[in-house]
Amino acid sequence: MKKLIIGALVAALILFIWQFVSWGLVNLHKAEQQYTPNQDKIMEMLSENLTEGEYFLPTYPPGSSQEEIAGMAENAMGKPWATINYHPVFEMSMGMNMARGFIIDLLSALLLCWVLLKFRELNFSSVLFSCIAVGLIGYFTITYLNHIWFSGNTIGYLIDAVVGFGLVGLWLGFYLPEKQNA
């Protein structure tokens, strides 16, 4: 239990620090937060036409028939489209967001350590590559799958998956096998 808790706490801290470096210091995700000089006009138009929610444009109204859906899709081909995540009020609670982020990192690290400690044989390379595999599984099944359908920029997330979980794998690969028989 001790190795699970210590391993997970340090792994969560590593993930948390990497995320700060990735989003803040290096800004790997800048392509997802591009500036437009028309932002005031766009926000005004959105606030007049949307309520809070996530939107995919163009799409069909609820209750549309299969023929109407097919017609809308055919009509939309080759034309502009957008995804919008709209909130009517900008609120930033950096402290709460960071706390929630660390809690998610800790839960993820606890689950990862729990799985790794179930391995019959635990060595540095099996831990390192398993951690990178977990990061890539998350990237492929969530971020990249969304990219397939919605064409978002995912390079920052791929780097996060490999580097973040690679750093965790380095730590856990050193710590868990060495402490396994203690």
Instruction: Tell me the per-residue pLDDT of 83-140, one tens digit each, with 9 for 90 and over.
Output: 999 999 998 889 999 999 999 999 999 999 999 999 999 999 999 999 999 999 999 9
59 C-beta neighbours (distance < 10 Å), count? 13
Cis peptide before 177 (omega within 30 of 0): no
The token duo for 94 is 């950096």
The token duo for 162 is 């490999």
| Crossing angle between the packed helical segments 94-116 and 124-138, to the nearest 10 degrees | 130
0.75 cut: is pTM over it?
A: yes
Q: Which residue has the tokens 């080759």?
A: 78
pLDDT surpasses 70 at 180:
no
46 C-beta neighbours (distance < 10 Å), count? 14
Percentage, residues of the chain above pLDDT 90 = 88
pLDDT of residue 178: 64
Mean pLDDT, all residues of the chain: 93
